[in-house]
Each structure stands twice: as structure tokens, then as C-alpha cells.
Amino acid sequence: MARSALLGSSLAKKYWMALTGLFLVVFLITHLAGNLQLLDMSPAGQLKFNAYAKFMTTFPVVKAVSYLLYFSILFHAFDGFLLAFQNRKARPVRYVKENAGANRTWASGNMALLGALILFFLVVHMKSFWYEMHWGAIGTDADGNKDLYTVVAAAYSQLWYVALYVFMMAVLALHLFHGFQSAFQSLGLNHPRYTPVVKNVGVFIAVVVPVLFALIPVWMFVNR
Ligand code: HEM
């Protein structure tokens, strides 16, 4: 296949968007499972979370997957903006009825805006935790592990920061709401019996994952 067909066409872009997007959903679910440990704010829970964070930043297989993750985030964002730009150029004036179709929602027409907000969130989020874990002047806990728990708890003791997370999880919910089912369509995985199931799974993920993510800062703020 010619290079332009593999990477350049708008169909190819959608295909790669779908693959990287579904990989990011898998990451989100595992990231959530790990972070739910933060709900245990006892001293033992703090040590457990720090040991988990150490494992996630040092175990070679996880480290390798992390590089794939960074690449996927950048690729998904870059490809998404290119696609939105191409669509704009092809149709500078939006059809008035564009959002009136059966599969059209506010989220589906604003995926690039939602994606841009998530990218902004990721920059703030990674500076707060990921950068601190890797390069920050971070203390150690009783087990000698980097005390990431205290960094997270300090961040979530600020109301504005908690509010930002809750708002951003609503943005994430809208992005997932359209993105999950759209990925299956882009991959050509349409089936009269399974497509409704995919849609329902998408709605479930779009609600449950962001709500549980948002619960963590709220819980830590309330119990600080
Ligand atoms: C309350 C919700 C969340 C908490 C408590 C949380 C916590 C953390 C922590 C502590 C780290 C640093 C861990 C490390 O360096 O290994 C981290 C990294 C990261 N987080 Fe989150 N996170 C949350 C939500 C999210 C969401 C919604 C996204 C994506 C939209 C996200 C994307 C990432 C990414 C991409 C990294 C870097 C992962 C890596 O280096 O492998 N996080 N998060």
C-alpha cells in the first residue's frame, strides 16, 4: 500500500484514530483501577499506593507500554486535529442540519474541541504527578519508596484543582460517549446484532470511568 494511502487519506486517519483511541480506553480502565487504591487513605493504603507507583514506573514491561502510550496520545491528538482541519477545509460552512441526523450529537460535532481540552488537562495532570514522580524533589515514605501519595493528596486538597478534575471528567465523558462507538465504525466493525451492544458498552464506559475518576479527588478533598 502506498505510504499516502496508509497514513495520509482521511479513511486511514480515522482507522489509526480508532486503534489508538481504543488503546487509550484500555489504558484509562487500568489507570482507573490502579488509582482507585487512593480511596484507601489509611497509612497502610498510602504505602501500598507508593509501592504500586514504584512498580508502574520501574517494571520494564510497563515502561515499554508507557512509551507506546505517550506515542498513542500524541498521534491520536495530532491525527485528530488534522482530520478536523481537513473536514473544515472540505466544508467551510457547516450544514445547518448537520447535527440533526440520527447519529449526530453535540459531542460528535465537537470532538476536536473536547480532545483539545483533554490535551490541556493531560499537560496539567502530567506536570502535577508524572513529572513530580520522575524528576521532582519528592520525599520518601517509611518503606523508602517515593511518596507520590502525598503529592496527590496535596494537589487534591485544593478546591480549584478538584473542580478542574471534575469538569475535565465531564469533558472526557462526552469524548468517550461518541469516540468509543465511532472507533468501531471507523474499523468497519458494523453488525446488526453487535453494534447496539457496542453502543451500550460505550455509554457505560463513558459514564462509569469518568465518574469513578472524578470520585477520587472529591473523596480525597472531603476526607483530607
Ligand atoms: C482522579 C483521576 C486521576 C488520578 C488520581 C491520576 C493519577 C495519576 C498519577 C499519580 C500519575 C503518575 C504515575 C506515574 O508516574 O507512574 C498519573 C499519570 C498519568 N495519567 Fe493520571 N490520574 C487520573 C486521571 C487521568 C485521566 C482521566 C487521564 C487521561 C485522560 C490520565 C492520564 C495519565 C497519563 C497519560 C499518565 C502518564 C502515565 C505513564 O507515565 O505511564 N490520568 N496519573
pTM of the predicted structure, to 2 decimals: 0.92
Instruction: Name the burial class of residue 140, with classes exposed (0-12), middle (13-18) and buried (19+) by CB atoms within 10 angstroms of its CB.
Output: exposed
Q: Which residues of the chain have pLDDT under 50?
A: 1, 96-100
Among protein residues, the one whose CA lies closest to atom 32 of ligand 1:
122
Residue 69 in contact with ligand 1 by CB distance below 6 A: yes
* pLDDT score at 99: 47
* pLDDT score at 123: 98
Distance 109 CA to ligand 1 centre (A): 27
What single string gives the DSSP state of each residue in 12-34? HHHHHHHHHHHHHHHHHHHHHHH
- Give the CATH fold of the 8-222 domain: 3 helical TM bundles of succinate and fumarate reductases (1.20.1300)
* pLDDT score at 1: 47
Among protein residues, the one whose CA lies closest to atom 8 of ligand 1:
129
What single string gives the DSSP state of each residue in 149-204? HHHHHHHTTSHHHHHHHHHHHHHHHHHHHHHHHHHHHHTT---TTHHHHHHHHHHH
Question: Coil, strand or helix: which one is 140?
Answer: strand
* pLDDT score at 87: 84
Distance 224 CA to ligand 1 centre (A): 20
**DSSP H helical ranges for 59-110:** 60-90, 106-109
* pLDDT score at 179: 97
Distance 203 CA to ligand 1 centre (A): 22
Query: Which of 217, 188, 184 shows the shortest CA–CA distance to 201?
Result: 184
Residue 148 in contact with ligand 1 by CB distance below 6 A: yes
Residue 118 in contact with ligand 1 by CB distance below 6 A: yes
Query: Which of 133, 21, 148, 33 shows the shortest CA–CA distance to 77?
Result: 21
* pLDDT score at 109: 92
CA atoms within 13 A on the CB side of 59: 9
* pLDDT score at 91: 72
Q: Could you tell me the residue ranges of all domains in the chain? A: 8-222
Distance 8 CA to ligand 1 centre (A): 31
Cα of 26 vs its chain's centroid, Å: 9
* pLDDT score at 90: 80
* pLDDT score at 113: 97
pLDDT digit string, tens, across residues 18-55: 999 999 999 999 999 999 999 999 999 999 999 999 99
Distance 59 CA to ligand 1 centre (A): 17
* pLDDT score at 100: 47
Residue 54 in contact with ligand 1 by CB distance below 6 A: no
Pocket probe for ligand 1: among 26, 46, 125, 172, the residue whose CB has the most ligand atoms within 8 Å is: 125
Q: Do residues 169 and 214 touch, judged by C-beta distance below 8 A? A: yes
* pLDDT score at 95: 53
CA atoms within 13 A on the CB side of 185: 9
* pLDDT score at 187: 95
